[in-house]
Amino acid sequence: MSQESILQREPDGRLMAGRAGLSDEQASALDLSRHLVITAGAGSGKTRTLVRRYLRALCDLGNESPRSSGAPRGPEQIVVSTFTERAAAELRTRLRAELLAAIRELSDNPTSPEDLQSGGVSRSTMLRHLRNCHDHFDRARIGTFHSFCASILREHAGELGIDPGFGVLQGAAARGMLDEAVISAIETAEGTFESDGSNAVPDLRPLFRAMSRRDLIRVTTTWVEGRENLSPFRSTLEMHDDEALLQLWQERYAQGRLEALERSLEDGSPLVAELQAIQTLAESPGVDPSSPLFQACALALQEIKARAGDDPIARSDRVRAVLGPFRTQEGKVRKQLSAGRLGDKQSLRDAKEHWAHARTMLIEQTGEACEALDELLGPADRMAGPVLRALRWLGDEAIRRYQHAKSRAYVLDFADLQLNVLRLLRGNPAVLGRLQSRFSHFMIDEFQDTNGIQWAILRLLCDDFRETKGLFLVGDPKQAIYRFRGGDVTLFDRAIREVSDAGGAIITFSANYRSQPNLIRAFNSLFEWLMDTHRAERPAWEAPFEHLTALKKVEPGSNSGEVQLLWLGEPSSPEEGTHELPGDDVLRFVPHGEEAWAVAAWLRDRHLKLPAKNAAVQAAVLVRRRQHLPTYAMALRRAGVPAAVVGGRGFFGRQEVHDITNLLLALAHNDDVVSLLGALRGPYLDLADEWLLWLVRLGSEAGSWALRVGWDQVLRETQRESTEATTGWNQLPNAAQLALRRAAQRYLGWQQARTLLPVSEFVRQILDDSAGTYLFAKNDPTGQTLANVEKLVAVAADYDSLGPNGVADFALYLREQEELEADEGDAPLDELAPVVLMTIHQSKGLEFPTVVLPDLHQPLRKGISEPLVLGRLDHRVGEDDLWEPAMRLPVEAKRRTMEPTLLRKLVARRAQHEDIAESRRLLYVAMTRAQDNVVCVAPEPRNKKPRGRQGSTSWEEWLRSWLAEQQPEGLSVFEGVDPWNPTETKASAAHQHINNNPPTVATQLHTHELRHFLQPILSQTTRILSPHALAAPKPEKAETLRRRAQTKRGAVGAKVGRLRGTLVHSCLEDGITEPGRALRRRVDQQAIASGLWQQETRDKLLQDVEAHLLGFRKAAPPELCDPDNPDVLREVPFRLPIASSLDSSTQPLWMEGVIDVLYRDAKHQLWVVLDYKTDHRDPDTLVADYSDQVLAYAWAASRILPELRDGQWQLAAELLMTAHGECRRVFGPEHPGTVSARFSKLVEQTLNEPNVN
C-alpha cells in the first residue's frame, strides 16, 4: 500500500482525506458533490472505500464554517447503516481506526507551509476538529437500519404516544407473543361467524369454511407479519365490492391475455379454420367421427359457438372449455390425437396435417403447458372477495391483540420500528424538516438487502433527492440473498434510475483483491453462463453479472488457486479394510454422513496444516441448512480436525438437553408419565429397558399409569429401606436390584433438593451425583455433549437471574424454546479452530483460504407452499408497492377441491423465478468467499446427463452442465470418489483434467475398479445380522425390482411404496389407526420430506395408508386395539449376541432389529410376536417369505422377556398383513427352547451360504 498521507490538500485549498492506498475506481467513490450508487463486486474493497469516504465527510464538515446555531459538526451528522449487528460492530471499529490514523498523522506534523498558502482550514484546526469527532464518536450513527429507526423513535416517542424506554422484541419471544395473539383472535372469531349488520364484522364463515384450523393460524400469522406491506391492498379492498374487485383483477392482470385468446377463437381465425377443416373431414366416407381427434374438434367448435356474456370468469371458463379437449391431464397441449384408421387414407392424412397446424397455433397462443390459462380468472377468484374481507378482519384483530400485548410489555418488534418511523416522517413535517437538516450524509452498506419501507424512509430524509449530494449507496445485487427477510433486490435498479435522474453517478467496482487468478477465471466463466448476462430483457430480480478482474498479488511460484469438484461414487464396505471409521460408527447411519466424512478427510489430508501453529482459520465449510452443521462438525472431529460451529440452531432439541428436561419435569409433575419414562431411561438414572418392563408389570393394575405406580412403590420401599418386600424383588438379578436402588436413592435426594437450590445449582448437583460430566466426556470424545451440558448450566444461571422461578418453570421454558425453534446453536468448541462451519448466509462479508461447499445435490427452492403468500406484481398505489395476497380456495364444497386464485398463480410463477435467481446469487456468495481454493462436493447423481442452465434442479446439475458447455480452466474434477476413503489416489492413467494441463489432481477409480488393486484385508469389525437379511427377496424378484427402479416411474413408485410402509408402521406405533387430521398431517410432512411434492401423489399415498389402517382394524387381535393395554409392547428394540459356536469367525456376531409388537396372553401363558407387513403379495407367499424373519424376532423375544427366558411361558408368532386385512399365525405355541434351536439352525445355514461374509 502507498505511503502517501491520508490527508491531502485539494486544489481549492481544503484539507481532506485523499485517495492514498485506493485504486482509481475506489477513489472515484470519494466524490462528495453528488449522490453515488456503487455496484461493488465480491472482494472489491468496498468497505475500505466506505471507511475513507466517512473520514472525508468528517473532514468536509471540518472545512465548513461553524453553524450559526452552534450545532455540532461531527459523527452525529453522518448516518452509516449496514445489514447486521456484526457488520456494524466491525465497521465501527474500522471507522474509529481510520479516524485515529488521521489524528496521528496530523499530530506528527501539526503545521505545514501549505497552511499559509491555502484558503482552507489549517492542520491544527483540522486536528482539533478530528479530535473532537473522536471524543464524541460514541454518538456516531453507525449500526443497522433498525437501530437507526429505534433511535429516532426514542427521540420522538411523544409524537407517537409510545414509551421511549421500549425494548426490541425478537426471536422466540416474538414468535410466542405473535402465536398467542393469533390463536386468541381465532378463538374470538369462532364465536362471531355472522356479520353484526354494521359492517364492523363481516361474515367470517367463508374464511372458516375454506381452511382448516392449522391453515387458518398460518394464514393469519402471515397477515400479521406482512402488515407493513398490506396498507395499499387494504385500501383497495375497502374501495371495491366483490364484483368490482373481480373486475379490477381482470383489468390489471387478465384482460390482455383473455382478449388475445378470444380473438384466436373467433370465427374466421386461423385456428378455428383448421378445426373446422378437421370437422369437415369427419364427414368423409368411412371415417370414424368418434375418433379422439374428431370428437375433440366437435366439442371445441360447440364451445366456440357458445356466448359467455360480460362476466370475466364466465368468459375465462369458455376459453378453458374450448381448449379442454386438446389438453392432457397434466394440462399440456396433446402431442397426438388419433383420427382413427377407417376411411379414406387421404382424408386421414389431411386431418393429421390440419391438427399439426392447429397444435402449433395452440402452443403459440397458450404455451406448450398452457401457461396462458394461468393468467385467467377462475372459480376460486369468485370466492376470494368474501374470504379476503373475513381475513382482513381476523388479521386486524390479531394485529390489535399483538400490539396490545407488546404495549403491555413495553416492546416493539422490527416491523414496528420501520412502520412507526415512516408514519412519523409522513405525518409530521416539522420532525421531518429537523431530521433533514440534521443529517448531511447517508452511507448505506449492503444496499441490495434493503426493503421498500427502508427505501421510502431514506427518500424522505433525502427530501426526494432535491439536494444533489449526501446519499451514498453501496452494494452488489449479485449478493442479494436475504429475500426471506424482506430484502428486495429490485430496489437496486430502482435506486440507480432515481439517483441518475437526480444527477447522481453510478460506479462499478470490478477489481477483486481477495481471490487467486484461477478462481476469478472460474467465477467469470461460471456466473457469466449461469446468470445469463447477455439476455435482451432482464427482469428486475435477475442480477446482471459484471466480470471480475483479478488483482490479488500472487508471489512467484505460489499456488494460483483451484476449484476442485468431488463427485462421490459408491462407498466401499468396511470389510475392505481401507476405512478409518469402524463399520458401526454412528456417522455411517446419519443423513449426509458419507459426504461429511469425505469433506473432513479431504480437508485434513489436502488443505490443512495440522497441528495449527496459529489461530488463523484455514478453511470454512459452508452449508445451506443449519440442521446439517452437527453432522459435518461430528465428521471433522472424528477425523481429528478441530472445528468450530458458528451460530446454528437446535440446541434445545439436543438429546442431552431433553434428558435434563425429562428429569426436571418428572421431578416436578407426578402425573407426567412420558417424562418419567425418559428420565428413567436417561443417563442420570440409567435403567435398562428390562427393568422398566419389570416396573410396568409391578404396577400393571393401574393401566396406563403402570410405570408411575411401579416406580412409586420402589421409591416408598427405598425410603423404608425394605425393597426386599417389593413383589418380585428377589427374582431380579443382583445388577437390576443395584440399578433400581441406586436410581431411587438419587431420585429421592433430588426431590428434596429441587426446592432448596437455584435451578443452575440443582442441575450442577444432578451432574455431580450421577457422574454426568465424566460419562459425557467418555461417551462423546468430541466434547460436544459435555460442552452443551455446561452451556445448559449457564442458561439455567441466566434463568435464575430473572427471579425465583422453580425447576418446573425452567423445564417448561426449555420445552417451549424447542417448540419455537429458538435460534440457539450448540455450544462452541475450539473457538480458535482451523476450520469453521456456518451457513452461507452467516459467511456474508467474510473470507477464507479454502471454502468447502457440500450438499450440492439439494434441490433448488422453487415456488410457494404456504396457504397465504404476499407477493408483488409490479403495481403501485401512490408511492407504495402493492402486495397482493395469493391463496388457494375450495371450489367444490363436497369434494373440497382446492384451486389457486389468479393472484396465486401469478405470484407463484414470479416466486419460482425469484427463488431460482436467488439460488444463483447464493452460489455466487458462497464461492467468492474463497481466497485460494474452492472444494465442491456432491454424491453420485442418479442422472449424470447435463440438463442445462434452465432445466437443472440443483447446484450439482448446474455445475455439470457448465462443465459440459463451457469446458472452463482453473479447476479439477474427481469422479467416483470413495466417500469413506476420499484421499486415496493412485498415479495411473485414471488422472483426468478438464483443462488438459499437466495433472495436479486425479480422478479416482470407481470402487469396483479400485478393488483389483487392493490386497485382501482379513481384519473385520463387529458384524451385525439383521432379521431382514433372513427374508431377502429371491434373485429373480430382486432383479425385477432393480429393473423397475431404473425407470423414472418405477423409482417414484418404489419411493412411494417404501414411504407407505414406513408411514403405516409409524402410525400403528403411535396409535394412529383412524383417518383424520393427524394422519393427513403426518402423510404430508413425510411425503414432502421425501421429495414427493405433487398433491396427487400425496393424496394417493394418503388413500393407501388409510386402506392399510382399515386392514389393521379388521385383522388386529383385540389386545392391540386398546392403546393403554399394559400387556402390549410396541416397537421393542434389541441388540443381542449370537452364540459364538454358530460362527467360526473370531469376530463377534450380533442380531439387531426392532420387534413391531409383543403382546401377552396371560390366560394361556403365551407371548405372541406380531410383525406388520404392507406387501400386496399373496398371503401364503408372504408367510413363506417372512417366516425366517419372524423366527428371528421370536428368538430375540425369548432372550428379552423373563417369562420366556426362564422357560415358563410359550411363544407364538403372527403376521398382520394390512393390505389384505388378515392376521396369520406363522408358528406356535412353542417352547422358547424349540424356537432357539430352530433359530440356531437357521443362522448356521445363513452363515454357510457363499454370499454371506
Residue-by-residue DSSP string for 539-603: -TTSPPP---EE-----TTS---EEEEEEE-PPPPGGGS--SS-TT-GGGGSTTHHHHHHHHHHH
Is the separation of the CB atoms in 695 and 714 below 8 Å? yes
Q: Is residue 888 part of a domain?
A: no
Residue type, 911: A
Separation of alpha carbons 767 and 776, rounded Å: 10
Separation of alpha carbons 155 and 152, rounded Å: 5
Asked if 12 and 154 sit in the same domain, the reply is yes
How large is the average pLDDT for residues 393-418?
92
Confidence bin at 538 (pLDDT 50/70/90): confident
**CATH at residue 664:** 1.10.486.10
Whether residue 790 is predicted with pLDDT greater than 90 in this model: the reply is no
Residue type, 1123: P
**CATH at residue 1153:** 3.90.320
List, as own/partner pairs, every contact residues 137-141 make where C-beta atoms lie below 8 angstroms and the sequence separation is at least 24, other chains included: 137/75, 137/96, 137/99, 139/74, 139/75, 139/76, 140/75, 140/76, 140/78, 140/80, 140/92, 140/95, 141/75, 141/76, 141/78, 141/79, 141/80, 141/439
Asked if 568 and 687 sit in the same domain, the reply is no
**CATH at residue 39:** 3.40.50.300
Asked if 710 and 770 sit in the same domain, the reply is yes
Query: Which 3 state secondary structure label does DSSP give 1042?
Result: helix
Asked if 936 and 1002 sit in the same domain, the reply is yes
At 292 the pLDDT is 87
Query: Which of 986, 1021, 1056 represents a domain boundary (last residue)?
Result: 1021
Confidence bin at 69 (pLDDT 50/70/90): very low
Separation of alpha carbons 647 and 826, rounded Å: 8
Asked if 339 and 486 sit in the same domain, the reply is no
Query: Which of 819, 852, 873 represents a domain boundary (last residue)?
Result: 819
Which helix (H) or strand (E) segment holds residue 366: the answer is helix 345-366
Asked if 641 and 661 sit in the same domain, the reply is no
Whether residue 130 is predicted with pLDDT greater than 70 in this model: the reply is yes
Using a cut of 0.85, tell me whether the model's pTM lies above it.
no
Q: Is residue 918 part of a domain?
A: no
Q: Is residue 836 part of a domain?
A: yes
Q: Is residue 908 part of a domain?
A: no
Asked if 1034 and 1060 sit in the same domain, the reply is yes
How large is the average pLDDT for residues 799-825?
74
Greater pLDDT, 248 or 655: 248
At 1037 the pLDDT is 47
Q: What does the DSSP 8-state code read for residue 164?
A: T
**Domain encompassing residue 715:** 651-819
Residue 647: which of 889, 868, 837 has the closest Cα? Answer: 837
Q: Is residue 316 part of a domain?
A: yes
Confidence bin at 1000 (pLDDT 50/70/90): very low
Whether residue 988 is predicted with pLDDT greater than 60 in this model: the reply is no
Q: Is residue 369 part of a domain?
A: yes
pLDDT digits (tens, 9 = 90+) for 697-718: 887 777 778 888 888 888 888 8
Most distant pair of Cα atoms in the chain: their distance: 115
Q: Is residue 912 part of a domain?
A: no
Which helix (H) or strand (E) segment holds residue 142: the answer is strand 141-144
For all residues of the chain together, what is the average pLDDT? Answer: 82
Q: In the chain, how many domains are there?
A: 6
At 992 the pLDDT is 35
Is the separation of the CB atoms in 165 and 410 below 8 Å? yes
Is the separation of the CB atoms in 785 and 779 below 8 Å? yes
pLDDT digits (tens, 9 = 90+) for 1071-1112: 788 887 778 877 876 776 666 656 677 778 888 898 898 899
Asked if 1080 and 1181 sit in the same domain, the reply is yes
Asked if 289 and 393 sit in the same domain, the reply is no
How are beta strands 848-853 and 930-938 bridged, if at all? parallel
Q: Is residue 246 part of a domain?
A: no
Asked if 262 and 341 sit in the same domain, the reply is yes
Asked if 314 and 398 sit in the same domain, the reply is no
Separation of alpha carbons 522 and 204, rounded Å: 57
Asked if 1044 and 1102 sit in the same domain, the reply is yes
Query: Which 3 state secondary structure label does DSSP give 281?
Result: helix
At 1129 the pLDDT is 85
List, as own/partner pairs, every contact residues 1222-1230 make where C-beta atoms lie below 8 angstroms and the sequence separation is at least 24, other chains included: 1222/1111, 1222/1115, 1222/1179, 1223/1115, 1223/1116, 1223/1117, 1223/1170, 1224/1179, 1224/1183, 1226/1183, 1226/1186, 1226/1187, 1226/1190, 1226/1191, 1227/1187, 1227/1190, 1227/1191, 1227/1194, 1228/1166, 1228/1168, 1228/1194, 1229/1164, 1229/1166
- Residue 27 sits at the vertex; the CA angle it makes with 540 and 33, to the nearest 5 degrees, is 75
Query: Which of 788, 819, 850 represents a domain boundary (last residue)?
Result: 819
At 1206 the pLDDT is 76
Q: How far apart are the first and last CA of the chain?
A: 66
Separation of alpha carbons 270 and 264, rounded Å: 7
Residue 582 in grid coordinates: 469402524
